[in-house]
């Protein structure tokens, strides 16, 4: 099939990560994945949730939202409904779980790193872009803690990224844009670390069940895409200099 943006089936969208995008957070990036754009910010707070008080360990959590102008038709703000959108709640829990999986929280002390992921333009893959960008914002925030002497070393155990895959017109595709996602037979969001280990898989057979061999093809595509994303993260953070 010919993709809407003429990419190959195993080609991810062009990704750009801009660090220090705004001046106030402890870490802030703009991640652009094709036409999807997300601002990911990290703030260090001197508190932990009640269930961790006195335990000497830290926490990482996330809030996710889509700006009203991020979609073709205006998205209503959650505050106007007086409750958090169910999709947003699911996504922010996913981002928090993913980031915590690669951090030794005991090194943080009783501090919380609050991650805010705000979608300013959506064209599919907002949650996976948020995870990939949030990791870089988190890295910068943790680096500041080391520079200030608040922690002895970076508590990261691995790099982390996420990408979408799916089956469209019976073909496996990497990194779905919105038009592909909306027509997918099946789609899946994959979170992995730099060692090729899976952190989270979320797959749905939208129009029919998925065969094992199809699932394996999707996982191979996801692994390829995430490896490329982690290389971009490392380049942005100066690891390849």
Residue 13, marked binder = no
Interatomic CA distance for residues 95 and 137, integer angstroms: 13
Residue 56, marked binder = no
Residue 97, marked binder = no
Tokens of 16: 């750009």
Query: Cβ neighbours of residue 25 under 8 Å, at least 6 residues apart?
Result: 41, 42, 43, 116, 137, 141
Q: Which residues of 73-90 are buried (b: 16+ CB within 10 A; e: fewer)?
A: eebeeeeeeeeebeebee
From 121, 126, 131, 120, select the one nearest 98 (Cα to Cα). Answer: 131
Tally of residues, the chain: 241
Residue 87, marked binder = yes
Binding residues, as ranges, are 87, 125-127
Binding residues for phosphate, as ranges, are 87, 125-127
């Amino acid at each position: 099939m010919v993709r809407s943006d003429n990419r190959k089936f195993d080609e991810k969208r062009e990704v750009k990560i801009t660090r220090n995008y705004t001046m106030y957070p402890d870490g802030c990036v703009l991640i652009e994945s094709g036409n999807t754009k997300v601002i990911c910010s990290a703030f260090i707070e001197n508190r932990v949730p009640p269930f961790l008080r006195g335990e000497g360990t830290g926490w990482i959590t996330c809030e996710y939202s889509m700006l009203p102008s991020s979609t073709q038709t205006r998205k209503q703000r959650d505050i106007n409904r007086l409750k958090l959108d169910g999709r947003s709640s699911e996504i922010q829990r996913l981002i928090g779980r993913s980031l915590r999986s690669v951090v030794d929280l005991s090194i943080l002390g009783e501090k919380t790193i609050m991650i805010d992921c705000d979608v300013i333009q959506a064209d599919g893959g907002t949650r996976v872009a948020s995870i990939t960008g949030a990791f870089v914002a988190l890295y910068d925030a943790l680096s500041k803690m080391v520079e200030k002497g608040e922690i002895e070393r970076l508590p990261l155990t691995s790099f982390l990224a996420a990408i979408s895959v799916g089956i469209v017109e019976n073909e496996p595709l990497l990194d779905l844009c919105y038009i592909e996602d909306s027509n997918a037979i099946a789609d899946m969001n994959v979170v992995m670390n730099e060692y090729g280990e899976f952190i989270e898989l979320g797959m749905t057979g939208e129009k029919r069940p998925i065969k094992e061999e199809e699932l394996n093809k999707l996982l191979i595509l996801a692994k390829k895409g995430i490896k490329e994303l982690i290389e971009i993260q490392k380049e942005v953070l100066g690891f390849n200099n």
